[in-house]
Structure 1
Amino acid sequence: MTDIEVQDIGDKVVTVLKTIYDPEIPVDIYELGLIYDVFVNDNCEVKILMTLTSPNCPVAETLPVEVEEKVKTLEEVKDAEVEITFDPTWTQDMMSEEARLELGFL
């Protein structure tokens, strides 16, 4: 698999991530800064390193599953796994400028 093909899959994964919203905040999880990294290997397997707005987040059980399931709908993706981390801890500074503008922080 070429670097271009891996990049293409990564871009498609990001597009999918931008369709998933935190139920308490009207911004997608990518712009919210909850996605720390997206890895795609040569076998078309995706690993997503993400966090939650807090360890006590009400969607802690369901959001990672939703992310995995939606990423797996991409025909190029053979498998997807989400790893949750709280290091570093999420802060509002991790939001994109677009997200801050939408939430009235700018």
Structure 2
Amino acid sequence: MNEELQALQDKIVVMLRTVYDPEIPVNIYDLGMIYDVDIDEENNVAIEMTFTSPSCPAADYILMDVQLKVESIPEVNKVDLNLTFDPPWDRSMMSEEALLELGMM
């Protein structure tokens, strides 16, 4: 990955760390809900993500928050979100910071 793409990737991760599930006091990135962030040569961003549960009551809110926040980065052209449940989320996907925050370590 070249320097420009890496810088944009870093900005996207910073922005994703500002998105929270209202029921869990940890951001969705550290929860492991972001499976992939792909940036093409035109700075279109494709994000593959999941929820902790397929029946997440805050799903619409979280998706809208991700969309708006990543689109707010000036270098980003377009954002496509791909919601998947394969593989299903489990706590092994959480960062050490998330596990500590939730008292699971």
TM-score in same-fold range (> 0.5): yes
Secondary structure at 1:23 match in 2:
coil
Q: Which residue of 2 aligns with 1:24?
A: 23
Give the aligned partner of residue 85 of structure 1.
84
Show the counterpart of 2:94.
Answer: 95
The match for 1:59 is 58
CA contact (8 A) 2:20 2:62 kept: no
The sequence identity of aligned pairs, in percent, is 50
Q: Please state whether the residue corresponding to 2:70 is helix, strand or coil.
A: helix
Q: Which runs of 5+ in 2 are unaligned?
A: none
Question: CA deviation digits over 1:11-58, x for unaligned, max 9?
Answer: 100000001111111000000000001001110111110000111000
**Equivalence for 2:48:** 49
CA RMSD of aligned residues (A): 1.0
**Aligned equivalent of 1:10:** 9
Q: In the comparison of the two structures, how many residue pairs are matched?
A: 105
4+ runs deviating over 6 angstroms = none
Is the Cα–Cα contact under 8 Å of residues 53 and 89 in structure 2 kept in the other structure? yes
Letter in 1 for 2:74: E
Unaligned runs of 5+ in 1: none
TM-score when scaled to structure 2?
A: 0.96
TM-score (norm 1): 0.95
Aligned partners of 1:21, 1:65: CA distance in 2, in Å? 12
Separation in structure 1 between the aligned mates of residue 60 and residue 21 of structure 2, nearest angstrom: 13
**Tell me, what secondary structure is at the counterpart of 1:80?**
strand
